[in-house]
Structure 1
Amino acid sequence: MKRQILMLAASAICAASMHAQKLTVHTIGDSTMADYVENTTRTRGWAEMLQEFFSPEVKVINYARGGRSSRSFCEEGLWNKVKNNLKPGDYVFIQFAHNDEKEQGKDGADGRGTAPWTTYKSFLEKYADETKALGGNPVFITPIIRRYFTKEGTISPKGCHDIGTAPDDSTLNYVRVMKHVAREKKVPLIDITALTKNFAEQLGETTTVKCIYVPTDGTHTQATGAACYAQLAAQGLKQQGILSSYIQAEAPLILNPTQLDFQTVYVGDKASLCFDLTGLKLSPSTGTLRLEAPQDMMLSDSPEATPKKMIELSYTNGKLWNQCFYLHFTPTRAENISTVISIIYGNSKRLLPVNAVCKEITHQLPVTCNCTKMSVKGLVETDKGITIETGEWPADIDEDGKRYVEIIIQGKEKPLIVRQISFTLEGEVCYRIAYARGKDFYPRTDLGEQQRAAEAPGKLTFSVNTTLKPNERLHVRLFPWSTRQDKELHFQMKECTFEGTEIE
């Protein structure tokens, strides 16, 4: 009876949300906005959190992707996908600059670096004009700051995307270019560069490093930083009267994602999902927050911790920062599940919807295959290993979408559950690994990443858990990059295998 009540409650929540939706916000940009797989990295993009600051009438679709500039986002075809989904009355939030700067103000050979007053400006104009032509509403959002503090405790000009050397010179100032285009094209603009600069300086360098940004770099945010910066964006929108009637700029509790979906889980298999919880303005200001797991599921605050039915956390000053939780589930029977995690603090209660399709397997055959064939793009294979096609690796903060190693897993005559892929990686490269079904590699699912190169990464194993239809193909790509300029960097992918189960 309890499960039936929870299923009805969750269904009612979803139905009400779908019925009420009136318009869509499409967000385009780079890794500082992008979605991430919660259990593979601490990095979160601020647009990933933006839905929490809108009422259910607005749906946020985040197209932002790591390593993209204003130019490469368009040239790779990502902008076409946005336009195909854009309806009259929708909004497009546009933020670029981090990767446009990578060639120090010049157009880069790899299609990412852009000259600010020519190429960068022209692509901003293109996004604005084409959004308007389709009946949409463009909104420019200047880039969030990099965590570059000066000795005086302020964010440096370079941290604010002015990469020039002369004081108050607009020649290489990407924020000024965006403001200029906004005035020319009469496009609303949120100066989140200024907002995040003021926020970080007030918070101070120590707290900003600890709580807001990923410790390994000064560009990407953790869950708390992403939530705080999404809130600043929402406040900026409301102050300018943009979607103000739909904005909840003082949201006390931020969840990411806003619902958990195990998708298809087979009886007896162990499954877990990760979610973030950030308290920005909890009431009362000092108290205890309690999480209660759904029936037949358990919660933990780390992958290694013993799962529990309930977790309690104390908080002060209305804040609970950088909390990550795991929901564990091992189905015992075939059924469709719609339930909720209860989150309680003070007199408030938040329900996090959870869905799963549980199936039984009548016949199964374990499958292990060696992936002997791989192809490369933007890379070359040499006697020393795989290296960049140009011969010299640039210093990057993220992937290049046109540089990757690809492996294709071919489905069998019967449905195939691809459970994991593993390989040995040699060489000091950063990477992100992802899979997709379509030839255009969209939409894709990220499996894992390493944003700091390890000297000896060794054997790597990634959980996939996706089902291929008969003869369907799964494209798996490793996107490598280097955080330093290097002419000698080579890497190797060896002993690549995938494990799965052929089912009936």
Structure 2
Amino acid sequence: MKSILSKLFIIAFVFCSIISAKAQITIHTIGDSTMATYDPNTSDIRGWGMMFQQFFNSGVTVNNRGKNGASSKSFYMEAPYWTTVKQQIKAGDYVLIQFAHNDEKNGGLDGGTDAANPINGTDYRGTNPQTTYKEYLRKYIDETRALNATPILATSLVRKYFNGASIKRSGLHDLGESFSLPTTDHTYDYAFAMQEVAIEKGVKIIDLTSLTKTLVESYGDAASTAQLYVSADSTHPTALLGTLTARLCAQEMVKQDILASYINTSTDVLINPTACDFGDAYTGQTLTKEVTITGFDLVPAAGTFNLSVSDGFLIAANKTDTFGSSIDMNYTGGNLTFTKFYISVTQSVGGTQSGTLTVTNGTVTKIIPLIANFITLTGGTEVNLLWPLITNNTPVLQGPATVVDQTHSGMNVQSYAVPNATTTWPVDSNAYTTRKTQRNLIDGGAWPAGEIDEVSTRYIQFGISAAQGTELNIDLISMYVGGAGGSGMRCRISYSTDDFATTSVAGEFTSMTSNTMYAVSKIPVLKIPYGKTLKLRVYPWYSSASTGKTICLADVKIHGIAMPASNLSVDQFSENKLKWIVEDGFIKIKNASLNSKITIYDLTGREVLKSSIISSDSSIESPKNRGIYIGKVESKEATKTIKFLVP
């Protein structure tokens, strides 16, 4: 079966990244927020799934589908998640399954069959470890095998629940203590239940609970608080814990001979990500990428690594530092401490900016490709959609677009009122002193205890669609958000164009001061063709059990430029036109204009394949060396630049 990744069509403006199917294995990681991918610009959390790729060579791609707030039940039942993962799985792939944190929501008891029918108002995500939890693990295993892929189970990393120098039973996902059960009784032990399913179904299991228990206890309570877990709670990993957990998983996979030949066992320098794709930006916009580095058993045992970037890119040790062309990192004892640094890029004209990050101490040298794409929007009609949310939820629309009315799930509008007589706003304007907001309350009025992340079925939604005959290019999402009545309100603001099968984050607040409104502003690069919809959701939760607390919203805004669908600029193209597939050592091109000319360049701009003429459907030999390349297709109608990967 051909790789689904290798069939991705070219989309979105000037270029698109394409992954080859040639001998490519994908590990699909499914789990909860401790595994999920986060935006470094909005959160300090780093799920271990987003750190996993650096431990594999080019023959394996990690497709991290970990989802905030997911349990084994909710990930299976809610349409955007397991259903869409299965569509990505091909024969020969692996599915790594890690659930427990949110299965514990009802203290080891079931929470109902679905979100609309919870048991006595409980959180429906909850599962009993001996029944429902095992049933869903079996479903994942059986359905993965039906797709000729290999399931792997992984117990969950520990919570930072210390009792002296040791992690408590509840931190190990064993809730038996709350039922006064002896330690030998595993009735409410999720890790033990998963191990039983592994034996029953003949599936290999990675015991991350035991592995991270040893790791976290070696740091101790104070150091774990300072270095391994984010300050907001005792569950979510920092970049360091995310990386160490991913490394433990990879090491255990080698021990169990799971994809061992593909795993990077290098003990010198590890850099994540292994290729820095900044994605798309509008001209003049600055993109910043967080990169991590760590080194082991280095030669010489003490020295300095120089990290330098090529022209067009800048580097700094901290976001607040002045960015330049290089930085130095000293190390001793043969090890380079796990460190974050940052690379930025901006460009005043449209087109692809490519370059390299070079890391060297004179003995060890690593080169990481860098690439970004900049887009200039010319012409078109401005679109501005605003929900003031002062007295009602009626939006104001300027320009050609279609409004998707505000809706609530698990939430309702309590009133339109000021958060407080002395509300603090991030704007210096008398008009905001007494400004009303939309105050939203959880259905039933009572916020549950123990929530530390979003609930996928509780949200406030807004949206916009392109008008017929146009494509809508979104260049701003913004709003004001705050909590009234207490300082425990939390929220994540996310957006999606595919009903949240894939999600981007516009803002995230793990700490909010009562009666304070916060500004959210995100500059996405989104092209919404006619027939597609951008949905924007605010997912609220509260830090403790409470009643009457509201999340306040004001001035929700979506801005963009509507371009006539029949009059796109020459560097834009739709997914149903030119198609580019890298497969079996060849580049296969379909729907190219007659007598088009193609040229291939590497990331330094060196021409690696001289210009040749192609017809509508052609096949040319791909470059021999693995890496990221740039293809330029020229015709009478347009010039198109395509980024692609040769593994």
Whether these two folds match at TM > 0.5 is yes
Choose the corresponding residue for 1:381, options 395, 399, 413.
Answer: 413
Alignment of 1:340-355 (within 5 A): 340-355=356-371
What amino acid sits opposite 1:192 in the alignment?
A: L
Q: Does 1:102 align with 2:105?
A: yes
What amino acid sits opposite 1:426 in the alignment?
A: G
CA deviation vs aligned residue, 1:406-434 (integer Å, no higher than 9, x gap): 11134464643323312233334211111
Between stretches 367-376 and 99-108, larger displacement belongs to: 367-376
Alpha-carbon distance between aligned partners in 1 of 2:362 and 2:298, rounded to the nearest angstrom: 6
CA deviation vs aligned residue, 1:431-453 (integer Å, no higher than 9, x gap): 11111112x22211122212234
Structure 2 unpaired stretches of 5+: 1-16, 112-117, 388-394, 396-404, 417-438, 564-568, 570-647
Contact 2:95 2:152 in 1 (8 A): yes
Choose the corresponding residue for 2:519, options 460, 482, 492.
Answer: 460
Show the counterpart of 1:235: 251
The alignment partner of 2:52 has SS state of helix
Q: Does 1:442 align with 2:501?
A: yes
Contact 1:411 1:468 in 2 (8 A): no
Alpha-carbon distance between aligned partners in 1 of 2:267 and 2:452, rounded to the nearest angstrom: 31
How far off its partner does 1:203 sit?
Answer: 2.5
Show the counterpart of 2:41: 39
- TM-score, structure 1 length as denominator? 0.90
After superposition, the Cα gap between the structure-2 partners of 1:360 and 1:133, relative to the gap in structure 1 and judged at 3 Å, is closer
How far off its partner does 1:243 sit?
Answer: 1.1
Between stretches 161-170 and 460-469, larger displacement belongs to: 460-469
Q: Does 1:181 align with 2:236?
A: no
Q: Does 1:196 align with 2:215?
A: no
* Number of positions where the alignment pairs a residue of Structure 1 with one of Structure 2: 487
How far off its partner does 1:102 sit?
Answer: 1.3
What amino acid sits opposite 2:412 in the alignment?
A: V
Q: Provide the identity percentage.
A: 33
Alpha-carbon distance between aligned partners in 1 of 2:86 and 2:562, rounded to the nearest angstrom: 39
Contact 1:227 1:254 in 2 (8 A): no
Q: Does 1:246 align with 2:271?
A: no
How far off its partner does 1:364 sit?
Answer: 6.7
How far off its partner does 1:183 sit?
Answer: 0.8
Structure 1 unpaired stretches of 5+: 1-13
The alignment partner of 1:491 has SS state of strand
Contact 2:84 2:501 in 1 (8 A): no
Alignment of 1:69-468 (within 5 A): 69-77=71-79, 78-108=81-111, 109=118, 110-151=123-164, 153-165=165-177, 166-168=181-183, 169-267=185-283, 269-281=284-296, 283-284=298-299, 285-321=301-337, 323-363=339-379, 368-371=384-387, 372=395, 373-383=405-415, 385-394=439-448, 395-411=450-466, 413=470, 415-427=472-484, 428-438=488-498, 440-468=499-527
Could you say what the CA RMSD is over the residues aligned between the two structures, in angstroms? 2.3
Show the counterpart of 1:5: none
- TM-score, structure 2 length as denominator? 0.71
Structure of greater Rg: 2
Contact 2:506 2:520 in 1 (8 A): no
Q: Does 1:58 align with 2:71?
A: no
Contact 1:299 1:309 in 2 (8 A): yes
How far off its partner does 1:46 sit?
Answer: 0.9
After superposition, the Cα gap between the structure-2 partners of 1:251 and 1:33, relative to the gap in structure 1 and judged at 3 Å, is farther
Contact 1:25 1:93 in 2 (8 A): yes
After superposition, the Cα gap between the structure-2 partners of 1:117 and 1:299, relative to the gap in structure 1 and judged at 3 Å, is same
How far off its partner does 1:497 sit?
Answer: 2.2
Choose the corresponding residue for 1:68, options 67, 70, 79.
Answer: 70
Contact 2:295 2:338 in 1 (8 A): no
Contact 2:305 2:330 in 1 (8 A): yes
> Higher strand proportion, which one?
2
After superposition, the Cα gap between the structure-2 partners of 1:457 and 1:321, relative to the gap in structure 1 and judged at 3 Å, is farther
Q: Does 1:27 align with 2:29?
A: yes
The alignment partner of 1:199 has SS state of helix
Alpha-carbon distance between aligned partners in 2 of 1:468 and 1:18, rounded to the nearest angstrom: 25
Alpha-carbon distance between aligned partners in 2 of 1:172 and 1:468, rounded to the nearest angstrom: 48
